Amino acid sequence: MSTSENTLLSSGNAQVIALAKMISETADKIIKEYTAAGSSIPLLDSTDTGPFDSPSNIPSGLGRDLQIMEAACAQLNIMVNSPAHIIATYEEPACLQLVTRAKIADFLLDKPEGLHVTEIADKTSLDSGKVGRILRLLATKHCFKEVKPDVFANNRLSLQLVSTNPVSGLVGHLTDEVFKAGAHLSETLQDPKSGLLHSPEGAPFNKAHGVALFDFYETRLAQAMVGWGAVTGKSRISKAYPWDSVPQNSVICDIGGGNGHVSRELAKNFSNIRVIIQDIPTVITQAKQYWNEEYPEAVQEQRVEFIPIDFFKDTPAPGCQFYYLRHVLHDWPNAECIKILTNIRKVMTPTSRLLIDELVLQHAVRDQSIRENIDQAPEPLLANYGMGRLRLYEQDLNMMIIFNSKERTLQEFINLGEQTGFKYEKVWDAGTTGIIEFSII
Ligand SMILES: C[S@@+](CC[C@H](N)C(=O)[O-])C[C@H]1O[C@@H](n2cnc3c(N)ncnc32)[C@H](O)[C@@H]1O
């Protein structure tokens, strides 16, 4: 955008017009993508699926347009509405927690005509008046639809809350134990002792629940991580890195890999790749079960190995081409990250690579010193795509609340790498996340 256009955008009226134009032009581009895929955008009230429902199927150009649309709509709305009206919003997570726990979306499956709140109340042992009010708030935000007064049915959004969908595990986790922990954020940060701690024990989560997250609800966490993969489009990992050109039988060591659902994507898509999953013993047991159910051929062909590790004390399996850390470092403050990276560095060779797959944060203001591959949004949007990438900044707060840890900027990852004997090579765009590649110094 030219300097003269930038100057014009310093007026509120000009910004509103620029945002409205951006929304209209971006809508055209999005419709063209649907048309090219032989489809059209499904109506909100329908339960139809669309070609881009899974973030993994969204091409990167469309992904950027969707973020621009989300950011521009939100920014325009905030500009034209009363600040008090915008700021005073709450209660939606509590409603999502209730409907997820009570499995209301499950009871509405195959009932396009909907169920009356008295029938929903019978099935869930809830009060009909109260459950109706909760569903109405959610329907007002387009999750569920009210088909007749007090009769509710599923729609595209509420189908994500069906208990067999891993996204419902994520919603349950976020709106229950994490939401309760969030209520302790202010008192933890304002306490002169705990507010200055950077250890996991000082996290609001521990204050709320008396234990750390990994000692809490292990099974729900595993489902929530699969749900997080669905929300963030984990399959983009297959397209984000040139896996097809890595040598035959290259081994990826998926450290803190959970049940290995991400490296399973790679093993399925690239026959030249073998996988080692490393995690704490209880999770390794879950991982074996998961692979035996989801990809038994890989287990039989010995293309996957399961090796327990405590990554603070042990070095990972030697001799691997790739050491892959997805959503592991964000669980830990810098001191713990340095221990993990130091242990990995010990087994790496000049040809092996460290791949850190994480959200990569940006400042909300334009930054001239920004590294290559980090895309800043067009004006008048905020440089970090504003509401189009809000999840990244919400997730940063989640990390503060749960672990006293953080999401990081690219520079913060580079600093961690440089402190532990790594050289930054490049960041690969994997949609919601970036894959930051390091070699050894
Ligand atoms: C946020 S999960 C990420 C899982 C997986 N990489 C993914 O993207 O779905 C972090 C993982 O680190 C594992 N972990 C935590 N402490 C560990 C330790 N000391 N040694 C090895 N793994 C650990 C947890 O069990 C969990 O599976």
| Percent of residues, the chain, with pLDDT higher than 90 | 75
84-120 burial, b for 16+ CB within 10 Å, e for fewer? eeeeeeeeeeebbbbbbebbbbbbbeeeeebbebebb
pLDDT at position 5 is: 47
Which atom of ligand 1 is nearest the CA belonging to 313? 19
Fold of domain 92-161? Arc Repressor Mutant, subunit A (1.10.10)
Q: pLDDT tens digits, residue range 43-84?
A: 988 999 999 998 888 988 999 999 999 999 999 998 998 888
Domain map of the chain by residue range? 3-87, 92-161, 166-222, 239-440
- Bridge partner list, 203: none
Residues identified as active-site = 330
Q: State the average pLDDT over residues 241-265.
A: 93
Residue whose pair of structure tokens reads 């509120």 in the numeric block = 12
Residue of 236, 313, 328, 403 best suited for mutating to test ligand 1, as the one with most atoms within 8 Å of CB:
328
Q: pLDDT tens digits, residue range 97-150?
A: 999 999 999 999 999 999 999 999 999 999 999 999 999 999 998 899 999 999
Position 4 pLDDT exceeds 60: no
pLDDT-derived band at 350 (thresholds 50, 70, 90) equals: very high
When mean pLDDT is compared over 197-201, 237-241, 340-344, 398-402, the highest value belongs to 340-344
Phi/psi of residue 196, nearest 5 degrees: -100, -5
pLDDT at position 341 is: 98
Residue type, 247: P
Q: Is the CB of 177 under 6 A from ligand 1?
A: no
Q: Atom 27 (ligand 1): residue with closest C-alpha?
A: 258
Q: Under 8 Å CB-to-CB from 272, ≥6 apart: which residues? A: 243, 244, 246, 247, 248, 249, 250
Q: pLDDT tens digits, residue range 294-306?
A: 999 999 999 999 9
Q: pLDDT tens digits, residue range 218-237?
A: 567 777 888 888 887 777 78
Residue of 215, 279, 358 best suited for mutating to test ligand 1, as the one with most atoms within 8 Å of CB:
279
Q: Atom 9 (ligand 1): residue with closest C-alpha?
A: 225
CB 319 within 8 A of CB 351: no
CATH of domain 239-440: 3.40.50.150
Please give the distance, rounded to the nearest whole angstrom, from the Cα atom of residue 214 to the centre of ligand 1: 9
Q: Atom 3 (ligand 1): residue with closest C-alpha?
A: 327
pLDDT at position 273 is: 94
pLDDT at position 218 is: 59
Q: Under 8 Å CB-to-CB from 190, ≥6 apart: which residues? A: none
Which atom of ligand 1 is nearest the CA belonging to 228? 9
Distance CA 11, CA 134 (A): 40
Position 3 pLDDT exceeds 50: no
Q: Is the CB of 80 under 6 A from ligand 1?
A: no
Q: pLDDT tens digits, residue range 271-285?
A: 999 999 999 999 999
Please give the distance, rounded to the nearest whole angstrom, from the Cα atom of residue 39 to the centre of ligand 1: 39
